[in-house]
Chains A and B, each alone.
Chain A
């Protein structure tokens, strides 16, 4: 079979699996006997494996980590979120996390399907160790922030339920306790922030030493918004470190910071062009 067809087959199969996992993820919140959480995880695992296959095939075809356009970049982000999700789910065993995170992944795959395209051209200047370090650290960092975002949403829902002083229906009964969600958020930020920081440090070093973003790189919109995002996560990280606040405020900040991540990632391309925005 044509390699390009094989790539798309594995991509669409991955999307299908991830959507199935989202359906089971949401379903298990409302009817765990009909939609079992383990099927959500199995489908997510299959989606992750197929997406990995997609990247390996494309990598082999272009000879380069395929994040050459928005579509590939988004797919790589989805891959990273699925990876972090599977790891967290394996370690923490929180079935309801799937109900909140897997639909987010499914939404991103929807965007990816809309902008699906073949491999872009590769600027030879980009091909360096800097690139791999920068991209991989940034994406794994972003992925942990996505999971932290889901945990924060869950925290706020459970908190609202507790403050409402109402009887726990079976849905809220399945949500974990505030303590678990707050701790998960903390652990994810503690993990994601250093990764993100390394990615930025590598990026700055790289921009300094090469001409990729031009001499005016600090004004690149992605650089500016990444700076703001980093400040938000730095604030979160230090709030945790010093126990200044907990709970609701931290959850709100986690959500705002993730909105910045998504905007930095998807939105800044409309503000300028350059290799950061995949527009040349």
Chain B
């Protein structure tokens, strides 16, 4: 049994190609059923995310299966295979296993280390499992892949660092405040990035949201979304002492917060620390604010710098993760070979014992005068002979399974004894 993957991803294909081949939750189960009708007795899993479309298969003839998959992808999307063939990669056996592990561990992702892909692979596998499209090989492969992903996550720091502006801002907030449930966030303006940061904060359990906007109506709308309170733009400074976190994204052409304005604010707060996140370009908060005690100021450049540092940190971790994946791939291939060999051995035994049994029945029917004891002795004799014959090749095959050259033996056995 061979394993293969045929697919394309964000590195090999532009989005125009990827979107043409994509499946969604609705089309995917139907596609699986159709694939089974075309290529019966092939295990298959379709992984379709915004960054990749891949089909994993397990079949006795992988090359033919790969061609089947290409044709299937073309037909189900009404495309010519030439349209996407140049973007396609196909990996077989060891390379396919390594590829799935790499994908599941999020080392092949657009943002290396983001955990989302693991859930997507799990979903893809569940779809196939429900349709009965997985068998011994793909079940083992995907279960293994989930375990490897867990292993990589715990034994490396690949997922440790935050890689989006909003999550980095929240991380700084978490190192200033221990608990968000008694905290207030004020947002000035309504930029997209600012709102995203606000949402991250709210997800951490922030108690109160205050929204200020030059257009009061916009403030009201945003405040409603977060069960917050809208204030007029002019009054943001008067309300600032209530805010533990201030997110500015105003789009004003000049600074709207200066250091000297903050002294009364901090006094009113009895010097409780404040986190100011300036996501606006041009900046909203004068850099002098940095020097005010108990105020922590981060602008968009600061946050992006951390994002980049964290991304390059993840890249560095790649090597360690790749080593883990390599070892796991070895182990899985070992298991697969042993499973293959085991199956062949079982068939081989069955074939020889089949011959023995039919010959035994024929002979015994010609010798009705034999007593029970004699019959049993003859039966034991044939059994022992067959087992002795089987012994050497079985041992040799098992040995080969760990060496990697077992395929020649398997092929030879299948041809010589007409096994399936």
Instruction: Please say whether chains A and B are actual partners in one complex.
Output: yes
Interface residues of A (CB under 8 A from B): 158, 161-163, 165-168, 170, 172-173, 175-180, 183, 243-249
B261-277 contacts to A, CB under 8 A, are 270-273
Q: What are 6 A-B contacts defined by CB distance under 8 Å? A: A165-B306, A178-B175, A179-B273, A245-B271, A246-B270, A246-B294
B171 proximity list for chain A (CB < 8 A): 168
* Closest residue of B by beta carbon distance from A181: B178
Say how far B306's CB is from chain A's closest CB, in angstroms. 5
Tell me how far the C-beta of B289 lies from the nearest C-beta in chain A, rounded to whole angstroms.
Answer: 12
A173-B160, A247-B271, A247-B273 known; A167-B179 Cβ under 8 A: no
Residues of A near B161 (CB, < 8 A) are: 167-168
Interchain CB contact under 8 A, A247 and B293: yes
Question: Across the interface, which residues of A come within 8 angstroms of B176, CB to CB?
Answer: 162, 177-179
CB-nearest residue of chain B to A178: B176
Contact yes or no, A248 B293, CB < 8 A: yes
Type the 1/0 row for B53-80, where 1 means its CB is closer than 8 Å to any CB of A.
0000000000000000000000000000
- A-B pairs under 8 A by CB, number: 60
Closest residue of chain B to A243 (Cβ to Cβ) is B270
Of B177, B271, B296, B305, the residue contacting A246 (CB under 8 A) is B271
In the complex, chain A residues whose CB is within 8 Å of the CB of B178? 176-177, 179-180, 183
A167 to B171, CA, bound (A): 10
Q: Is the CB of B271 within 8 A of A167?
A: no
Q: When A168-B171, A173-B160, A248-B293 are in contact, do A178 and B306 touch as well, CB less than 8 Å? A: no
Q: Is residue B172 contacting chain A, with contact meaning CB distance below 8 A? A: yes
Instruction: Report whether A161 and B175 are in contact in the complex, using a CB–CB cutoff of 8 Å.
Output: yes
Q: Are A170 and B294 in contact (CB under 8 A)?
A: no
B177→A170 contact, CB < 8 A? no
* Chain B residues, Cβ within 8 Å of A248: 293-294
Shortest A155–chain B CB gap in Å is: 11
- Report B-chain residues with C-beta under 8 Å of the C-beta of A183: 178
Q: Please, which residue of chain A has its CB at the minimum distance from the CB of B306?
A: A167
Q: Tell me which of B160, B273, B302, B305 has the highest count of chain A C-beta atoms within 10 A of its own C-beta.
A: B273
A246-B294, A248-B293 known; A162 and B175 CB under 8 Å? yes
Q: Name the A residues within 8 Å of B310 (CB-CB).
A: 167
CA distance A162 to B157 in the complex (A): 21
* Chain B residues positioned under 8 Å from A178 (CB to CB): 175-177, 273
Residues of A within 8 A of B179 (CB): 179
Q: CB distance B313 to A167 under 8 Å?
A: yes
Residues of A within 8 A of B271 (CB): 243-247
Q: Which of B161, B177, B294, B305 has the most CB of A within 10 A?
A: B294
Cα distance A173–B79 when bound, in Å? 50
Q: Mark B169-186, 1 if CB is under 8 A from A, else 0.
A: 001101111110000000
Residues of B within 8 A of A244 (CB): 271
Residues of B near A246 (CB, < 8 A) are 270-273, 294
Chain B residues, Cβ within 8 Å of A179: 176-179, 273
Question: CB-CB < 8 A to A161: which residues of B?
Answer: 175
Complex Cα distance A249/B305, Å? 29
A87 to B278, CA, bound (A): 41
Q: Which residues in A have their C-beta under 8 angstroms from that of B309?
A: 166-167
- Docked pose: A260 CA to B296 CA in angstroms: 31
Q: Give the shortest distance, in Å, between B295 (CB) and chain A (any CB).
A: 10
Closest residue on chain B to residue A161 by CB atoms: B175
In the assembled complex, the CB of A166 is this many whole angstroms from the nearest CB of chain B, namely 7
- Does B306 contact A166, Cβ atoms closer than 8 Å? yes
Q: Is residue B84 within 8 Å, beta carbon to beta carbon, of the partner chain?
A: no
Q: B294-306 vs A: 1/0 string, CB under 8 Å?
A: 1010100010011
Q: Which of chain B's residues have a CB closer than 8 A to the CB of A177?
A: 174-178
Cα separation A248 to B272 with both chains bound (whole Å): 12
Taken together as a complex, chains A and B put the C-alpha atoms of A248 and B291 apart, in Å, by 12
A41 to B125, alpha carbons, bound, how many Å? 44
Question: A129 CA to B245 CA in the complex, in Å?
Answer: 53
What would 19 more interface pairs be, CB under 8 Å, given A162-B175, A165-B305? Answer: A163-B296, A165-B298, A165-B302, A166-B306, A167-B161, A168-B171, A170-B157, A170-B160, A175-B175, A177-B178, A178-B175, A179-B176, A243-B271, A244-B271, A245-B293, A246-B271, A246-B272, A247-B273, A248-B294
Within 8 A of A (CB), among B139-172: 157, 160-161, 171-172
Q: How far is B177's CA from A176's CA once the two chains are assembled, in angstroms?
A: 9
Q: Please measure, in the bound complex, the distance between the C-alpha atom of A245 and the C-alpha atom of B178, giving whole angstroms.
A: 19
A220 and B364 CA atoms in complex are apart in Å by 117
Interchain nearest-CB distance for B292 vs A (Å): 11
Closest to A167 in B: B309
Q: Which residues of B lie under 8 Å from residue A158 when comparing CB positions?
A: 175
Give Cα distance in the complex from A163 to B295, angstroms: 9
Cα of A72 to Cα of B347 in the assembled complex, Å? 81
Asked whether, in the complex, the Cβ of B296 is within 8 Å of the Cβ of A162, the reply is: yes
**Which of A161, A172, A176, A246 has the largest count of B CB atoms less than 10 A from its CB?**
A246
Chain A residues with CB below 8 A from B293, complex form: 245, 247-249
List the 9 closest A-B pairs by CB distance, nearest first: A243-B270, A167-B309, A246-B271, A179-B178, A180-B178, A177-B178, A165-B302, A167-B306, A179-B177
Determine if A247 and B296 form an interchain contact, defined as CB atoms under 8 angstroms apart: no
- Min C-beta distance of A276 to chain B, whole Å: 38
- A163–B175 Cα distance when bound, in Å, is 11
Chain A contacts for B272, CB-based, 8 A: 246
Q: How far is the CA of A20 from the CA of B80 in the complex (A)?
A: 70
Q: Which of B157, B175, B310 gathers the greatest number of chain A CB atoms within 10 Å?
A: B175
